[in-house]
Amino acid sequence: MEKITDKFLRYISVDTQSDPDSDTQPSSRKQLDLLKMLRDELSAMGIDATLDEYGYVMASIPSNCGKDVPAVGFIAHVDTSPDASGTGIKPQIIRDYDGGDIELRGVPGLSLKTSDFPELAEYKGQTIITTDGTTLLGADDKAGVAEIMSMAEYIVNHPEFRHGPVMIGFTPDEEIGRGVVKFDVAGFGAEYAYTMDGGKIGELEYENFNAASATVHIQGRNIHPGYAKGKMLNAILIGMEMNSLLPVEQRPEYTDGYEGFFHITDFKGTVEEASFSYIIRDHDIDLYEKRKKMIKDCVDFINTKYGEGVATVEIRHQYYNMKKEVEPHYHIIEKAVKAMEMEGITPIIRPIRGGTDGANLSFMGLPCPNIFAGGHNFHGKLEFVPVESMEKATKVILNIISLFAE
């Protein structure tokens, strides 16, 4: 069998950054480069695999256990975040990690410091893959992709392994909240599924944020600064003022656990006009609705102060908390817990401070909790993943399949 490291390095070499400004599905054509590769690799294993017009790879492995057991699916997304470049990734492989700071050689002075990331100590003696500091790594979620592909290869090469029907799904555009907009749940054919899209080893999640995005536009009035008194409306300053109306302590860098937040992700502007973007998150549905209202109230305040129409906002819902859809099927959580314990992993059950394709899939009739893929520091140049965590994740997938076949 091919080593999971080789799979992972091959997949991250393909630039698959999704594009939030695109209206197409998938949002960037380059995602299809990896999706076609995965379809072809599955087909080469003898697994029935398809790629549809929307960028969904679906594959199925027939049961060999001789029992009527539920079909279980495993899903990962191929796109990487728009927050950092995914072009020309140059990974660093640190074998037998010594527990110290890791220099990211592509950017002088940039390093993964143990003082900033004390969790590095947990991986002393292991093999860690990092970026060189010029791009993200793509472990979110190509670690999950590699783990699912390793599972598929194992099953094909070990016919003695007993299993029920196993479904495989790879999706585009998860990072921009559109990963399963056109996903054919009935066609996928699984009764239950798991996304392999979590963080550190042991993570198991079936609660996530309710999520929305907000885009605010400020229409200013540019007047020559020498004659601007009483006339100029500086869109940059008005936008800054509106942002200051939101509670500082409810920014992501000050929140944890079940605490929600407002996060400004982008600001572009001139004196004449400016636009800026937020993501809005909360686990509690009532607080989520209040957060959306607070953004609208801030816009109303700006318009009251500076004139109607100076500020406008578009709020777009992204996904809901999957808890109420997954909890009635709690046995799938129990199976994941047991599957981890079989590998000596202590499960870490906690809410996702983010979202996965599984959140929307759960509301589409496919209960779909989230399991660790092993990576850390997603969406940025300090991303890393321990190889041993990916290997363990593959074993957890195989254990879940075995448990469903009992």
Where in the sequence numbering do the catalytic residues fall? 79, 174
Report the C-alpha gap between 190 and 167 in whole angstroms.
6
Amino acid at 279: I
**Is the distance from CB of 144 to CB of 396 less than 8 angstroms?**
no
Transcribe 296-364 into DSSP letters. HHHHHHHHHHH-TTSEEEEEEEEE--THHHHGGGTHHHHHHHHHHHTTT---EE---SS--HHHHHHHT
**Is the distance from CB of 379 to CB of 386 less than 8 angstroms?**
no
Query: Which residues, in sequence order, are CB contacts of 168 under 8 Å at separation 6+?
Result: 42, 47, 49, 57, 58, 59, 60, 61, 73, 74, 75, 148, 152
Query: Which residues, in sequence order, are CB contacts of 229 under 8 Å at separation 6+?
Result: none
Report the C-alpha gap between 383 and 304 in whole angstroms.
44
290 sits in the region (left: phi over 0; alpha: psi -120 to 50; else beta) called: alpha
Query: What values do phi and psi take at 6, rounded to 5?
Result: -65, -40
Q: 3-class DSSP state for residue 116?
A: coil
The single residue listed with the structure tokens 């093999």 is: 127
Report the C-alpha gap between 14 and 232 in whole angstroms.
48
User: Which tokens in the block code for residue 191?
Assistant: 């009764």
Residues in the chain, total: 406
Amino acid at 385: V
Question: How many CB atoms neighbour CB 99 within 10 A?
Answer: 11
3-state secondary structure 80-111: ECCCCCCCCCCCEEECCCCCCCEECCCCCCCE
State in Å, rounded, how far the first CA of the chain is from the last one.
Answer: 26
User: Which tokens in the block code for residue 376?
Assistant: 């850390």
